Amino acid sequence: MDRIKRLFTDPAARPRLTLWIGVLLIVACAFTAVSTIGTSTNWFCIGPCHIVHDDNTQAFDAGSHVMISCVACHEPVNGSPLTLLIKKLEVAPDLIPTVMGTFHLPMNEHSAIAFEMTDEYCTQCHSLDTRQITPTRGILIDHEAHTAEGITCASCHNRVAHPEEGITFVLEGSKMHEDWMVMDACFRCHGLEADAEAPGACEACHPASFDLIPASHDADGWYEQYGESGGHAAAYHEETSRVAEAEVWSEGLEEIEHLATWDMGHEQTINTCYTCHAVAFCSGCHGVEMPHPEGFIENHGEEGTAKADSCAMCHAGGGRPVENAGTEFCNGCHHKGSDPLQPWIPQHFVIVEQQGAQGCFDCHEPTYCAECHVRGSL
């Protein structure tokens, strides 16, 4: 302790103190330079540090930003050496799972990093002053209008530097991320509902010359009726199943500040059918509320009786034309054991004898049977 004290009080020791302080400063500067410059090269990011990002590296190599430094987008813009050093110290703990092999894949599963990307990363190279509107593939995007609403570039261009189309993943657990440059992603904000954040009308983003009908709608059988295996019916059921699964994993997902109504999982829980069609569109064609509301099965008798032809549009037995459908489909539930492909009257004797007449009264009054079963009418 006395020796240290003498370094500061003994005039003869001060040159030595000054020398050591100088050496320490040089070492500190060298460490900072190596930490900030040496670890900011693409070689370091891709090689010894981020081997866990092998699949992201593949995507980066396939993109248009391959000649851009990683740190141009992943470190503070125009940051001082001290700022960069602090940033690297913040992410240093991430090396532990990399070295130990305990990292979780896929990386950045829900594209959270995109919400951290401010526009200044993009405007280092791209200028909105000279590119306010982008016309491409029948789409008109007004960048100025989006910027005015606080929507950042990466809110839509989340995979622009790491496009995954066509690459083969090499790490077990990796999977393709959502690409928000698709129409479904637009409907995180745009919508046909009155309270939507942005307009959902086609002409808001598409020129009049653009063909708005998807290729799937031109396929044979798309408008096929008579059963849930028809083109548009099968697509609708597949879509609702996908959305239901997405809603399960998105429950409790941490919200990230963007627009007031935006949460990270919103795109996957969007029903693609409703991005172009209001819910009422289905009901207008089918003649009944579509999809059927909760409790419909328990209370559908009256409506089914009054609108049997509407029911037969989807539920006609055996793919028969509507006018010949009858109520065979109904018998599948109301008279289990009957043959839905055969007329009901000739076989109802056997079913009633086996199961009783209670199933008849689910839809008919007890006196209904008497219309035929009187004085030997049958």
Cα-Cα end-to-end distance for the chain: 118
Q: For the CA atoms of 117, 120, 123, 128, what is the dihedral angle to 10 degrees?
A: 90
Report which DSSP code applies to 140: E
Q: What is the DSSP string of 341-370?
A: TS-SGGGHHHHHHHH-SGGGGGTS-GGGGG
How many angstroms separate the CA atoms of 11 and 8, rounded?
A: 8
Structural tokens at position 168: 């083969």
Amino acid occupying residue 273: C
- Evaluate whether residue 373 is within a structural domain: yes
**Structure-token pair, residue 346:** 């000739």
Q: Which two tokens stand for residue 239?
A: 């879509």
22 within some domain: no
Q: What is the pLDDT along the chain (378 residues), one digit of tens a residue?
A: 566 666 556 666 667 767 778 888 888 877 777 766 767 777 777 766 666 677 888 888 888 888 888 888 888 888 777 787 787 778 778 777 777 777 778 878 778 788 888 899 998 888 877 665 565 667 888 888 888 888 889 988 989 999 988 888 888 888 888 888 888 888 888 888 788 888 888 888 888 888 888 878 877 778 765 555 567 888 888 888 877 776 766 665 555 444 433 444 456 677 788 778 877 888 888 888 887 888 888 788 778 778 877 887 777 654 454 444 555 667 667 777 777 667 778 888 888 888 888 777 777 787 888 888 775 555
The DSSP secondary-structure symbol of 214 reads -
Q: What is the total count of domains within the chain? A: 1
HSE of 158 in the Cβ direction (CA atoms, 13 Å)?
A: 23
Residue 37 lies in a domain: no
Residue pair 47/39 in contact (Cβ under 8 Å)? The answer is no
The pLDDT of residue 13 is 62
Q: Is residue 331 part of a domain?
A: yes
For residue 251, what pLDDT is reported? 60
pLDDT at residue 6, as a whole number: 62
pLDDT value of residue 340: 64
For 365, the domain range is 327-378
Residue 197 tokens, joined: 């954040």
Q: Max Cα separation, the chain?
A: 134
Q: CA 86 to CA 137: how far, in whole Å?
A: 43
Residue type, 83: T
CA nearest to 139, candidates 109, 175, 183, 95: 183
Q: Looking at the domain assignment, is residue 244 inside a domain?
A: no
- Please indicate, yes or no, if residue 368 is contained in any of the structural domains: yes
Q: Decide if 17 is inside a domain.
A: no
